[in-house]
Structure 1
């Protein structure tokens, strides 16, 4: 019989939050180039919610167990691993499997856990901050003096993108969210948003035109899709770049006017991370290390900080998923 471990499993393979439970499953064995990590903390992400419902495909070869970001200690090395040793404190990114006692991870997708970050803080970084870095720096090519618009500003990726944009020298960073509380908080944090817009009650395209003296923004980071499309295009300046990370309001945009995209010379980029090749993810994480050196906890004093909404024991995984599903997390 294979060695067993505990993990968060899903009754019937998919379904409502109540189908989540902690059960026994086979402990993973590291393949060539992989390390086995004993998990101390893992992060919850919106994709976990969709995957639980059966709406998010698992990448080929990845574990069907939920969870893509974690922190922990290396306990076993696969063949040909050269970057890590047993006992190393790490955090990293996987295609799945982090809701468990142990997870296999390719050695290039791990980062050394800095001493100034707690286990929880380290586990909160990989998916949110690497996604934001990819969208804003690799695709959006943000540079000093740019004007940036970040939707879902109070989400994990939104909070990361706002701070990274400020660190790269953006002239303005406008964030959208749905409540005054969230907007006030986004302006209050160090390197937070310079401007905020309540997308439910205000026209964000009109607001960024005012903020930028009619020019428009150079970079848009969007998670919303259909309902924001027309105003996003309107918001963009000549040669503007938009990265689309999700389509929470729908995939299809009727009656699209391609002329605006043409005469503004806009560049619109779709972005995924979980489905990218191992080589791509390894190279992305290697370049992200420049940003990682600047990340601290909420009270750490760094130019980029990670903010934890709430910490749950994994025995309360259902309650944590309800918190996320109800949009109570910042």
Structure 2
């Protein structure tokens, strides 16, 4: 029998947060361009909740163990396909197809970055999935250019926190958010620099946004919510606007009538986007974009990683329940000793 390691498993393969437990499984063996990283910390993402419940289409190349973003130290590299700039002992962080909820993860060097000394393990583990998702949605899919306006739904979520910072740094004319409380809106406006925000629980946010923009709407909407916002997104979008769908937190089927005439009247484009199912080369290009444009701003302090809570990975049940509460501002990080 080969080497083993501790990893987070799910009793019976899927279930609620209480089904999570610390298991002992075989240590991964690298292939292709992969190296083995000893994990120091990993970040939680909403896809993890869906995967735990058996509702997420896991890529074929992903292991059963959850987790896609992490920081750690390269323990071994055995393949010539691995990028030569990554050596044993290097401190790194990156994105994996899965397996980060563990003591070790096998990951392609094309999806790794060197960790700056100025970033902690916890901060580094909270960057890859969040910031790459935000930049992909904003630039590649949303076709953002300087001077456009943008709306980030779930404004206090980790992806939107990253997106607000990216938008502000790249000269957005206006940055709006939706959130579940005035406290979260104030955080987005006063601390992150958003232009304004709307509490979706206390009124019609789409009409409020139209009023704030003198009827124009916004050029780009980034939406992880889904069906409950679909009609309002069409109303809030500006002419020639882009609506980027990142998820379906509220479900996939609309409850009420939808006026699809707005697509034509406003020349809107609605496009879905995923990251985890993309091939290694595509993710590598996104990695390079993050490294060239965002990493220097983390080093000089212009960009910040907002962390809600850090827990040892043995308390993974608590971590998942905290994410399910929707009361967080920023990342939930687990450490591995």
Give the TM interval when normalised to the shorter protein.
Answer: over 0.9
Which one of the candidate residues 68, 84, 87 is aligned to 1:85?
A: 87
> Is 1:12 equivalent to 2:12 in the alignment?
yes
For 1:197 and 1:102, the matched residues in 2 are separated by 42
| Kept after mapping to 2: 8 A contact 1:42/1:70 | yes
| Secondary structure, counterpart of 1:311 in structure 2 | strand
For 2:129 and 2:72, the matched residues in 1 are separated by 16
| Kept after mapping to 2: 8 A contact 1:147/1:212 | no
| Kept after mapping to 2: 8 A contact 1:142/1:168 | no
Q: Which runs of 5+ in 2 are unaligned?
A: 330-337
TM-score, normalised to structure 2, is 0.93
Aligned to 1:55: 55
Shift of the alpha carbon at 1:207? 2.1
For 1:112 and 1:280, the matched residues in 2 are separated by 19
Mapping of 1:125-164 within 5 angstroms? 125-164=127-166
For 1:302 and 1:207, the matched residues in 2 are separated by 34
Mapping of 1:21-170 within 5 angstroms? 21-80=21-80, 81=82, 82-170=84-172
Displacement over 6 Å in runs of 4+: none
| Kept after mapping to 2: 8 A contact 1:162/1:173 | yes
Aligned to 1:304: 303
For 1:50 and 1:293, the matched residues in 2 are separated by 29
CA-to-aligned-CA distance 1:272-293 (integer Å, 9 cap, x gap): 0011111111112112223322
For 1:328 and 1:255, the matched residues in 2 are separated by 30
How many residue pairs align between the two structures?
Answer: 326
For 2:202 and 2:69, the matched residues in 1 are separated by 35
Mapping of 1:167-206 within 5 angstroms? 167-190=169-192, 192-206=193-207
For 1:295 and 1:198, the matched residues in 2 are separated by 30
Q: What value does the CA root-mean-square deviation take over the aligned residues? A: 1.4
For 1:145 and 1:210, the matched residues in 2 are separated by 20
CA-to-aligned-CA distance 1:226-284 (integer Å, 9 cap, x gap): 11111111111111011000111121235433321112111111010011111111112
Q: Which stretch has the larger CA shift, 55-64 or 34-43?
A: 55-64
For 1:295 and 1:91, the matched residues in 2 are separated by 16
For 1:173 and 1:319, the matched residues in 2 are separated by 33
CA-to-aligned-CA distance 1:21-45 (integer Å, 9 cap, x gap): 1121000111121110000000111
